[in-house]
């Protein structure tokens, strides 16, 4: 195939070099370090130590058990939820529309923290019930983790299954009925096989997210050894020491995710059926008893999902004395201490997230343009490397970046650069996916139309492509912003003094038992997340035109 | 305005030759159509003229200028696409103004020319609409105005009507022809729709696997196809292999055998061998009662009769069990026949026999 070098071939190479250097190279370093001892010679001592460490093996098992339990719970919540929303109409159903955005928006650390405020050892509900003579089981450990992770991750199942159900051709069910199977058997034989892959794909996603989860694991799982927390502790404990063990641990985590992704690609994706004509069956309006039941069950899920938003603000305005929250006594002192006393995390977060958003979205737009509109063997490679960060948990990415960029000719450790880099790399696959989705819908001919009218290819990119992508660039930027500003697991590994961000501050305050101050930072964090979303909705209202 | 000369152009994709030493001359101001089934190379040829594809061999000239290696944006062409290709974030006005702005035309003149162009396609009232707010026909008219307003040297159209519904397609034919004739612009039009090609073109190039099978006026292509491919593609035809020989006398006189009977015909295209192919349009044939026997007629039996209003279509089985289609038009139908009737099929002596 012939490649036109200017400008796209050149930009492809540039992107490739950047990705190789900032994504591929750190991962490679991690792998190499995992099989090298202190003297630099090849050695499997890291892995052998892990195999002999009973606590590590326990953490390994715990992580898998947690992954399976949370995944099962999210399926149990998400599938019926999706089915109710797809097939039935009931009072207040419109509320579910806010769910996808809201659950992405609420940072995990805030979910963990606000449930601690309610159900922790000194929590509001715990204390209320204790007053009534009821003792709740401790929220720390399995209960808290499974509960809060289910609430954080069930939307993945819900959204995936909802999309599958809406794309399902209702005539298939009618065909089943006409062929003489009962309604229940029809559903089992016709609907289930088509929906199952969607459940499975998203269940695997949830599993990998649970395995890589750091924020909730570290806040709630203190008594339960888990891989992500252990990897982090190994890193914190061994800073400056031998990186072999932390690398080996990281490689194991990558291995777990890689196996899951491989299984997903090889086994699950082959079972996905494409519906030729998806006319979803009509939505049934339910009445009386059923309506109350549907509304209540959906309502409970929505309230539980959104509660952290409320709690964090209540917590921020509540009087504290040391670790004790004085519920019902309002005060501005926590907020004042956070905003006036130690505003650095807020400023840092805003700075790093803005930079990562600008860099990440610009790069994502370029990469998706090259991979979709200027296909060649190199862009294919680009396409593969850009999704690599998906296989790495934040903790592992952080370790890889620190190990790679703390020495050598490019030292980023200890500078803002490493924070921005880890934000950017972590969210790049998502930003690329965002940008790509609209690019697929933009026909190649509008570029050709512009060129035929006398505008050069490069100018055409700026005059035609970018304006046509405006809506998706805005939404990619907002998603990048809200997800990077709440990023914890990678940044907590790479940050050093002076680089503290809001999520890190929240984590440290929670860790120190100061939930009031944590709430104050939490309220600030949620505010800067919600602000651009509100603005964006207004912006989108102005631009109602679409590309087709 | 310019003539287009395509000189021995070769284009290959992944070892597959899509255009084979193709040559074609489009005179200044003419409307030429590239017609053929998908995969025949017509769009590739158009994209070579536009500069989106670079030929692997041969030259393309606009008048005397060799543009083979000139980038598209320097070729000064107007192009209309199948999917309209309007810029979604720009109004109809801004879409049409796009090419003029790129050419740094003064603002006042842009406004004047864009309004004039929109007026010509009767869209002045919709100047502020976005593409998403317009119908397919309106979008294609904006696209046409956008391509013509820059007064390009040549106009290239890639199946511009195929995304429109049947009624709109007929209307747009007239809109395109009116505008193109008025501007006197050299036009290359790509389509797979033979009726569109017949209705619009000065000349049609029928393409077959990367070559031009026949170039001619619509009348020539329909009346005197040079081979079975052309005959079959334009209109419908009975295409029957027959033993044939030149009959001397008039140079084009041919004798051939059909169903064991000697018939007279005319040679079309290249010289014949011992085998030829009879091309007989169903509407050129006529039916008669079996007796008395007339010259150049063969006996058969009506297999099926279909009444279609303005015409009646018959399938006739000949004695050798082969079938032939005959259509009689309501206006000149002398006698009607039913299934099972014995008939004679008259094959006019000017029917073409082409080389096999």
- From CA A305, how far away is CA A297, in angstroms rounded? 13
Do B313 and B215 lie in one domain? The reply is no
Structure tokens at B308: 């279609």
State the Cα–Cα distance between residues A85 and A88, nearest whole angstrom.
6
Residue-wise pLDDT tens digits, A230-269: 888 888 875 545 678 888 889 998 999 888 888 887 777 6
Q: CB count, 10 Å around CB of A358?
A: 15
* Beta-carbon separation of A453 and B132 below 8 A: no
The structure tokens listed for B122 are 């009767």
Q: Is residue B231 part of a domain?
A: no
Residue B105 belongs to domain with CATH number: 3.40.50.300
Give the pLDDT confidence of A419-443 residue by residue, as tens digits. 999 999 999 998 888 888 788 888 8
Give yes or no: residues B66 and B203 share one domain.
Answer: yes
Average pLDDT over residues A392-396: 89
The reply to whether B182 falls in a domain is yes
For residue A464, being part of any structural domain is answered with: yes
DSSP B120-151: HTT-GGGTT--GGGS-HHHHHHHHHHHHHHT-
Residues of chain B with pLDDT > 90: what percent? Answer: 71
Answer whether residue B200 is part of any domain. Answer: yes
Domain that holds residue A166: 10-29+43-271+289-538
**Which of B73, B86, B126, B146 best probes binding to A when mutated, by most A CB atoms within 10 angstroms?**
B73
Do B251 and B203 sit in the same domain of this protein?
no
Q: Is residue B230 part of a domain?
A: no
Structural domain includes residue A38:
no
Instruction: Identify whether A36 is part of a domain.
Output: no
| C-alpha radius of gyration, chain B, whole number | 25
Name the domain count of chain A.
1
Q: Are residues B184 and B111 in the same domain?
A: yes
In the prediction, which pLDDT does A3 show?
A: 53
Say yes or no: B247 and B168 in one domain: no
Is residue A429 classed as helix, strand or coil in its secondary structure? helix
Q: Which two tokens stand for residue B174?
A: 């007239």
Q: Is B141 found in the same domain as B48? A: yes
Domain boundary among B191, B223, B255: B223
- Nearest-Cα distance to chain B for A7, in Å, is 14
Contact B133 A451 (CB under 8 A): no
The Cα B107–Cα B111 span in angstroms is 6
For residue B346, the domain's CATH number is 2.40.50.140
Least confident of A33-42, A277-286, A323-332, A364-373: A277-286
H or E element in which residue A308 lies: helix A288-316
Average pLDDT of the residues in B152-177: 93
Per the model's pLDDT, the better-predicted residue between A97 and A87 turns out to be A87
Residue A147 lies in a domain: yes
Domain stop point among B223, B253, B282: B223
- For A523, the enclosing helix (H) or strand (E) is helix A515-542
- Minimum distance, in Å, between the CA of residue B317 and any CA atom of chain A: 42
- Which helix (H) or strand (E) segment holds residue B298: the answer is strand B297-307
Interface contact A542, partner B, CB < 8 A? no
In the three-class reduction of DSSP (H, G, I as helix; E, B as strand; rest coil), residue B291 is classed as: coil
Pull the structure tokens for residue A427.
């969210």
User: Quick one: CA dihedral B94, B95, B98, B100, positive or negative?
Assistant: negative
Q: Could you say which of B223, B256, B291 is where a domain stops?
A: B223
Cα A78 to Cα A73, A200, A309, B4, B231: the distances in Å are: 8, 12, 21, 63, 62
Q: CA nearest B135 in A: which residue?
A: A548
Q: Rounded to an integer, what distance in angstroms lies between the CA atom of residue B260 and that of residue B106?
A: 76
Q: Could you tell me if B243 and B318 lie in one domain?
A: yes
Sequence-distant (6+) residues with CB within 8 A of B249 are none
Same domain for B217 and B240?
Answer: no
Choice between A167 and A212, residue whose per-residue pLDDT is larger: A212
H-state helical runs in A327-443: 333-336, 344-373, 377-386, 394-405, 416-441
Q: How many Å lie between the alpha carbon of A282 and the closest alpha carbon of chain B? A: 28
| Percentage of chain A exceeding pLDDT 70 | 93
Q: Is residue B146 part of a domain?
A: yes
> In chain A, which residues have their Cβ closer than 8 Å to the Cβ of B74?
454
User: Is A515 a domain residue?
Assistant: yes
Interface list for chain B against chain A, based on CB atoms closer than 8 Å:
14, 50, 52, 71-79, 81-83, 85-90, 98-99, 102-103, 130-133, 143, 146-147, 150, 156
Q: Judge contact between A491 and A398, C-beta under 8 A.
A: yes
Residue A546 predicted with pLDDT over 50: no
> Alpha-carbon distance B214 to B279, whole Å?
15
Q: Do A468 and B89 touch (CB under 8 A)?
A: yes
The helix (run of H) or strand (run of E) holding residue B7 is: strand B4-13
- Kindly provide the b/e burial profile for residues A142-169, where b requires at least 16 CB atoms within 10 angstroms of the residue's own CB: bebbbbbbbbbbbbbbbbbbbebbebbb
Mean residue pLDDT of chain B comes to 91
Give the whole-angstrom CA distance, residue B18 versus residue B10. Answer: 8
| Residue B75: inside a domain | yes
* Average pLDDT score, chain A: 85
**A467:B132 CB<8 A:** no
Residue B203 pairs with which residues in a beta bridge? B32
Interface of A with B in 462-501 (CB under 8 A): 463-464, 467-468, 470
Q: Determine the pLDDT at residue A504.
A: 94
CB-nearest to A450 from B76, B89, B98 is B98
- The answer to whether A457 contacts chain B (CB < 8 Å) is yes
Cβ atoms < 10 Å from Cβ of A417: 15
How confident is the model at residue A470, as a pLDDT? 85
**Residues A361, A362, A368: CA angle, nearest 5 degrees:** 80
Q: Which parts of B193-300 fold into alpha helices (H)?
A: 194-200, 218-223, 228-233
* Residue that the structure tokens 């029809």 belong to: A186
Examine residue A294 and state whether it is found in any structural domain, yes or no. Answer: yes
pLDDT at A273: 66
Structure tokens at A202: 């998203």
Question: Residue A240's pLDDT is what?
Answer: 46
B242, B175: one domain = no
Q: Which pairing describes strands B211-216 and B238-246: parallel, antiparallel, or unpaired?
A: unpaired
Within 13 Å of residue A66, how many CA atoms lie on the same side as its CB?
32
Beta bridge partners of B158: B190
B81 closest CB neighbour out of A445, A467, A546: A445
Of B35-39, B249-253, B286-290, the poorest mean pLDDT is in: B249-253
pLDDT in tens, B178-213: 999 999 999 999 999 999 999 999 999 999 999 999
Q: What is the pLDDT of residues A215-232, one digit of tens each?
A: 999 988 878 899 999 888
How is residue B192 written in tokens? 């797979």
What average pLDDT does this structure show over B163-177?
Answer: 92
- Indicate yes or no: CB of B77 within 8 angstroms of CB of A452: yes
Distance from CA of A475 to the nearest CA of B (A): 16
End-to-end CA distance of chain B: 41
pLDDT at residue number A401: 92
pLDDT at A277 over 60: no
Q: Is A548 in contact with B88 (Cβ distance < 8 A)? A: yes
Cβ burial, residue A352 (10 Å; 0-12/13-18/19+): buried
Structure pTM?
0.82
The predicted pLDDT at position A101 comes to: 67
Q: How buried is residue A302: exposed, middle or buried, by Cβ count under 10 Å (0-12/13-18/19+)?
A: middle
Would you call B72 and A455 a contact, using CB atoms and an 8 Å cutoff?
no
* pLDDT above 90 (res A67): yes
Minimum distance, in Å, between the CA of residue A12 and any CA atom of chain B: 20
Q: Verify whether the Cβ–Cβ distance A449 to B76 is below 8 Å.
A: no
The pLDDT of residue A275 is: 59
Sheet strands side by side (includes B65-66): B16-26, B4-13, B57-62, B65-66
Q: Are residues B197 and B252 in the same domain?
A: no
* A449:B87 CB<8 A: yes
pLDDT of residue A165: 86
State whether B89 and A448 contact (CB < 8 Å).
no
Q: Is A279 a residue whose pLDDT tops 90?
A: no
Q: How many domains does chain B have?
A: 2
Range of the domain at B66: 4-223
Residue contact B132–A450, C-beta within 8 A: no
| Same domain for B283 and B172 | no
- Phi and psi at A147, nearest 5°, equal -60, -55
Question: Are residues B153 and B291 located together in one domain of the fold?
Answer: no
- A&B contacts, CB < 8 Å: 83
The distance in angstroms from the start CA to the end CA of chain A is 31
Q: Does the CB of A548 have a partner CB in chain B at under 8 Å?
A: yes
**Rounded Cα–Cα distance for residues A234 and B53 (Å):** 58
Report the candidate in A232, A305, A283 with the shortest Cα–Cα distance to residue A489.
A232
C-alpha to C-alpha distance for B101 and A280, rounded to whole angstroms: 47
Cβ atoms of A460 and A447 closer than 8 Å:
yes
Gyration radius of chain A's alpha carbons:
25
Q: Name the CA dihedral angle for B180, B183, B186, B191, rounded to a multiple of 10 degrees.
A: -10
Interface contact flag, B88 A446, Cβ < 8 Å: yes
Nearest to A257 by CA among A386, A420, A94, A67: A67
Q: How many CB atoms lie within 10 A of CB B62?
A: 22
Residue A543 in this model has a pLDDT that exceeds 80: no
Q: Measured in whole angstroms, how far is the alpha carbon of residue B337 from the centre of its chain?
A: 35
pLDDT at residue A495 above 80? yes
CATH number for the domain that contains residue A458: 1.10.3720.10
């Amino acid at each position: 195939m012939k490649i036109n070098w200017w400008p796209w071939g050149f930009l492809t190479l540039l992107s490739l070099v950047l990705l190789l250097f900032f994504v591929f190279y750190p991962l490679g370093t991690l792998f190499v370090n995992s099989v090298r001892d202190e003297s630099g010679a090849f050695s499997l001592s890291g892995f052998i130590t892990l195999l002999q460490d009973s606590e590590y093996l326990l953490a390994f098992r715990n992580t898998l058990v947690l992954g399976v339990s949370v995944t099962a719970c999210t399926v149990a919540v998400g599938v019926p939820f999706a089915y109710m929303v797809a097939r039935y109409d009931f009072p207040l159903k419109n509320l579910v529309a806010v769910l996808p955005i809201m659950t992405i928006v609420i940072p995990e650390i805030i979910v963990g923290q606000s449930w601690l405020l309610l159900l922790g050892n000194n929590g509001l509900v715990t204390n209320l019930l204790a007053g009534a003579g009821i003792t709740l089981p401790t929220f720390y450990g399995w209960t808290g983790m499974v509960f809060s992770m289910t609430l954080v991750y069930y939307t993945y199942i819900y959204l995936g299954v909802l999309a599958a159900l809406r794309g399902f051709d209702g005539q298939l069910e009618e065909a089943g009925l006409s062929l003489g199977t009962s309604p229940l058997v029809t559903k089992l034989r016709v609907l289930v096989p088509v929906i199952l892959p969607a459940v499975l794909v998203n269940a695997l996603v949830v599993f990998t997210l649970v395995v890589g989860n750091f924020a909730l694991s570290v806040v709630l799982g203190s008594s339960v050894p888990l891989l992500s927390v252990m990897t982090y502790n190994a890193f914190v404990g061994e800073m400056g020491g031998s990186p072999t063990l932390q690398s080996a641990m990281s490689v194991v985590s990558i291995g777990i995710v890689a196996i899951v992704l491989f299984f997903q690609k090889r086994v699950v994706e082959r079972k996905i059926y494409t519906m030729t004509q998806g006319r979803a069956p009509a939505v049934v309006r339910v009445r009386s008893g059923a309506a109350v039941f549907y509304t209540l069950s959906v309502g409970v899920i929505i309230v539980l999902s959104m509660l952290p938003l409320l709690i964090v603000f209540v917590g921020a305005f509540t009087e504290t004395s040391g670790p004790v929250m004085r519920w019902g006594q309002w005060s501005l002192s926590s907020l004042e201490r956070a905003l006036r006393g130690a505003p650095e995390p807020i400023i840092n977060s805003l700075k790093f997230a803005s930079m990562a958003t600008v860099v990440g979205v610009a790069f994502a737009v370029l990469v998706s343009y090259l991979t979709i509109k200027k296909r060649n063997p190199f862009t294919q490679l680009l396409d593969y490397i850009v999704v690599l960060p998906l296989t790495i948990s934040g903790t592992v990415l952080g370790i890889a970046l620190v190990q790679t960029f703390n020495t050598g000719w490019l030292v980023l450790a200890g500078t803002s650069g490493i924070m921005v880099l880890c934000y950017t790399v972590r969210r790049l696959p998502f930003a690329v996916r965002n940008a790509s989705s609209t690019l697929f819908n933009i026909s190649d001919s509008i570029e050709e139309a512009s060129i035929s009218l006398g505008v050069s290819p490069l100018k055409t990119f700026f005059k035609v492509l970018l304006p046509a992508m405006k809506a998706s660039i805005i939404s990619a930027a907002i998603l990048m912003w809200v997800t990077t500003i709440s990023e914890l697991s990678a940044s907590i590994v790479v940050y050093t003094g002076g680089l503290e961000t809001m999520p890190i501050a929240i984590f440290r305050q929670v860790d120190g038992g100061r939930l009031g101050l944590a709430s104050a930072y939490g309220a600030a964090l949620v505010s800067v997340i919600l602000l651009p979303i509100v603005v964006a909705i207004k912006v989108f209202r102005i631009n109602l035109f679409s590309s087709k | 305005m310019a003539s287009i000369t395509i000189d021995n152009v070769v284009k290959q994709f992944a070892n597959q030759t899509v255009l084979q030493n193709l040559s074609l001359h489009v005179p200044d101001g003419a409307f030429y159509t590239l017609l053929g089934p998908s995969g025949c190379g017509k769009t590739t040829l158009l994209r070579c003229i536009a500069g989106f594809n670079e030929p692997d061999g041969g030259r393309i000239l606009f008048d005397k200028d060799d543009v083979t290696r000139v980038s598209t944006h320097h070729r000064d062409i107007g192009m209309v696409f199948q999917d309209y290709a309007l810029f979604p974030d720009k109004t109809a006005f801004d879409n049409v103004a796009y090419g003029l702005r790129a050419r740094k035309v003064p603002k006042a003149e842009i406004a004047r020319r864009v309004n004039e162009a929109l007026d010509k396609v009767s869209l002045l009232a919709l100047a502020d609409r976005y593409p998403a707010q317009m119908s397919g026909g309106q979008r294609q008219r904006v696209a046409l105005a956008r391509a013509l307003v820059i007064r390009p040297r040549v106009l290239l159209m890639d199946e511009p009507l195929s995304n429109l519904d049947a009624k709109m397609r007929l209307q747009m034919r007239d809109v395109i022809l009116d505008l193109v004739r008025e501007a006197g612009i050299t036009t290359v039009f790509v389509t797979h729709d033979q009726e569109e090609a017949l209705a619009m073109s000065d000349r049609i190039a029928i393409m077959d696997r990367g070559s031009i099978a026949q170039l001619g006026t619509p009348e020539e292509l329909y009346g005197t196809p040079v081979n079975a491919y052309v005959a079959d593609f334009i209109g419908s035809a009975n295409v029957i292999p027959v033993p044939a020989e030149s009959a001397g006398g008039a140079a084009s006189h041919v004798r051939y055998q059909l169903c064991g009977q000697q018939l007279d015909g005319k040679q079309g295209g290249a010289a014949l061998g011992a085998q030829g192919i009879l091309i007989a349009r169903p509407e050129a044939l006529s039916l008669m009662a079996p007796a008395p026997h007339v010259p150049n007629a063969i006996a058969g039996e009506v297999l099926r009769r279909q009444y279609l209003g303005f015409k009646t279509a018959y399938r006739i089985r000949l004695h050798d069990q082969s079938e032939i289609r005959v259509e009689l038009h309501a206006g000149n139908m002398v006698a009607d026949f039913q299934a099972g009737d014995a008939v004679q099929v008259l094959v006019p002596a000017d029917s073409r026999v082409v080389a096999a």
